Structure 1
Amino acid sequence: MRPLDTDELQNVEKDMLYERFAETLLAYLCQQVSHRQDAEDLLLEVFLAALQNTSLARFPARRQLAWLRRVARNKVIDHYRHRGLFTIQPLGQAPEIEDQDLTPEQQAEEQEKWAWLLQTIEQLTPVQRELIRLRYVQEMHLTQIAVLLGKSEGTVRKMLSRTLRHLKALYEQNERR
């Protein structure tokens, strides 16, 4: 049996890298995005980046995992930025950006939805309304909001997530009436 050359050795090490860390990274990615398929796509992107890093195989396992987690985190951020270009806009500008090709009936329905949303936002607590305003009207980042509120970024993220879930539930409840 002949010894492995450098390229073959690196390929074996990268296969081991996948076997060692794929499950951990996939679990993280599944927590960060809504669909498993998106998480699997991001996992693929992470390991494609790992293939391009020739020095990664020489790192100790802990440093490899840290590097892969950082890449995974950046891929999640890129994922939401890309989606954000298409779906997230400041709340105050949304009615102005509406599709001008809508029929008058569709425009009336859209205006009604915006009215329902604004009424629903009024049902939130003052803290929840402020959080929505800072994030979506002022377009502040979670880190900026955390500093402003004197809370950790993780706490603000949870507060915002809970507020959005609550807002959605209230909106759907109001819409059924």
Structure 2
Amino acid sequence: MQLPRSGSIRDDTALAELYQRHVYTLLGSIRRCAPTPEDAEDILLEVFMAAFEHNALTGWSEGKQLAWLRKVAHNKCVDIYRASQRRPSLSLETITEALYDDEDLLPEQMALHAEERALLHAHLTRLPEQQQQILGLRFGHGLRSREIARKLNKSESTIRMTLSRTLNLLRRNYSTEEDSDA
């Protein structure tokens, strides 16, 4: 990693020495909290960019510098964690495995899955538009009742009641269909 030019050779040398002294210590502790090695390196870069912008850092004792760098690294890790909680992500491997799960099934199993999807689609299309929309927001987009209520300008209790009634209706439709098939 190359630090940007600060203008003074003395400052550049001090920052380069600071980097050389603490890079491995910080990277080791950041790797424990970062999801990937690449994320750890990005956080490390952000820590040293913050050090570059903090003019007084080079005048501090080595212990105080390390404490400051560790605190910044900790705060950056917390930021990454909070962001991941707001926007959970799936690894590419997980998505790929889910896409190709059906390929491992026997042709009969694939046909059964296709029939089940078609049956579900038929049941869903018979529902009123609002019930379809609420189910789509809940299960398709993963929204909570409160978020759906806000989005549709309805009360949260109305959304919960509609979800409950709709799911019960679907259960009854499925059980009625199973009884008639038997």
TM-score, normalised with respect to structure 2: 0.46
Q: Which structure exhibits the higher relative contact order, with contacts defined as CA atoms closer than 8 Å and separated by 6 or more residues?
A: 1
TM-score, normalised with respect to structure 1: 0.47
